[in-house]
Structures are given as C-alpha cells and as structure tokens.
Chains A and B, each alone.
Chain A
Amino acid sequence: AQTVTQSQPEMSVQEAETVTLSCTYDTSENNYYLFWYKQPPSRQMILVIRQEAYKQQNATENRFSVNFQKAAKSFSLKISDSQLGDTAMYFCAFMNGGSARQLTFGSGTQLTVLP
C-alpha cells in the first residue's frame, strides 16, 4: 500500500514571498502520478499541479512549481509571489498508474499567507 506523508501541519508566509511545502511518499510502483490539491475554507478541492513519475522535468503552473525527486520519493510544492488567496489547506496525493483509480492523500499542510 502507498503512503503519503506531509510533515508540516501548519506554515505561514508573508504576501509576495516564496514558500515550499514538503511531501514524501512510499511506493514500490514505478508508474504513478502525484498531485497537489488546494482546499480553501469553502472546502472545494482544487487541483493545483500534477506530475507524472515517468517525466523527469518538474511540472510548473504559473506561480506553482514542484521539485520531484523520484529516487528520494519526495514531491515538494513551491509557491512563488504568495497571495492572500493562496491561504488554504494543501494536500499532496498519490495515484498508482496501474489502477489509476484512487487517490491516496497526505494529512495536509495549512498554509496562511500574511498581509
């Protein structure tokens, strides 16, 4: 079974600064997908960024980028130029490429952007 670990329950960052959220996972699979989801106070789960394990290049979506270290089984999220709207719970999630059916989530990191 896969496990996803987020070791930072809470983090804060000043507006316009950069912050990095950590995530590690454990799997014996070689083909899988990794995701970061954002859950603001509205509770709507929003997909932030995704990474295919077979791709060496780190994914980037505007101000969001990842540092994917496959050998270390690490998948961190970097948020640049933090905005007040980035305040949310961030979940790291794993999906096995073989079944491609269910997401395994970490426990989440509550990020607060300070004005």
Chain B
Amino acid sequence: KAGVTQTPRYLIKTRGQQVTLSCSPISGHRSVSWYQQTPGQGLQFLFEYFSETQRNKGNFPGRFSGRQFSNSRSEMNVSTLELGDSALYLCASKEGAGVATYEQYFGPGTRLTVT
C-alpha cells in the first residue's frame, strides 16, 4: 500500500494570507489527524477527522480549521497567517476511530514558512 501523502511539501506564504494543506491517508484508513511541529513547542495535536466529522480538537485558535472528504482525504486551512505559524505540519492516518486501531502512520509533512 502507498503511504500517507501530503501536498505541497514546501510552502512560503506572507503574513495575513491563508493556506490550505492536503493529506491523503493510506488506502482503507478512515481517520486522519494533523499535528504541528515547531522547535519551540514540539509536536502538538491540531485535530482529528473520522468519516468527515471532526472527532477531537487541540488547543489552537479558530484560524486553524480542517475538513475531511468522503474519500477520507483531508485538508487543513490556516487563515490570517502569523509568523508563529511557520512549522512542519504532519498528517497521520489510522484505520478507524476506536481503540482496536490505534496505530498512526505519518506522512512526510508540509514545511510552511511565513514571512
């Protein structure tokens, strides 16, 4: 099976702009989670989607949003970009939402730079 794919891999935006990142999970996986990785804050959970519904959300402002499509692909959007949003954004997928399928597999990440 192909792994988790994320597009684009690199992105440069200006403060105040918005950005959309995409994630395609492993075939058959229905849960997608997003994480932000920065040198200062480390790895932090953004949100999780399962069957097109947001199941869980981390402690991030409303500028961070996401959605999931019927084919399980997910997008996350960040509006009104700030310099502090510069980070590696990682997407992870797993088969389902329950405890029986807890292993998450990560994509290569999207490196966002805000100038």
Which of A's residues lie within 8 Å of B, judged by CB? Answer: 31, 33, 37, 42-47, 50, 91, 95, 97-108
Other than the given A50-B103, A103-B92, A106-B42, 7 more pairs (CB < 8 A) read: A37-B106, A43-B111, A47-B104, A47-B105, A102-B33, A102-B58, A103-B35
Interface of B is mostly: strand
> Is B45 within 8 A of A42, CB to CB?
no
- B97 to chain A minimum Cβ distance, whole angstroms, is 7
Interface 1/0 per residue, B80-115 and A, CB below 8 Å = 000000001010100001110111111011010000
Q: Given A95-B102, A97-B99, A99-B56 in contact, is the A104-B109 Cβ separation under 8 Å?
A: no
> Is A101 within 8 A of B56, CB to CB?
yes
Residues of chain A within 8 A of B55, CB atoms compared: 101
Which of B's residues lie within 8 Å of A, judged by CB? Answer: 31, 33, 35, 42-43, 45, 48, 55-56, 58, 88, 90, 92, 97-99, 101-106, 108-109, 111
User: What separation, in Å, do the CA atoms of A96 and B43 have in the docked complex?
Assistant: 17
User: What separation, in Å, do the CA atoms of A98 and B102 have in the docked complex?
Assistant: 11
Residues of chain B within 8 A of A101, CB atoms compared: 31, 33, 48, 55-56, 97
> Is B33 within 8 A of A45, CB to CB?
no
User: What separation, in Å, do the CA atoms of A44 and B107 have in the docked complex?
Assistant: 7
> Is B45 within 8 A of A100, CB to CB?
no
> Is B45 within 8 A of A102, CB to CB?
yes
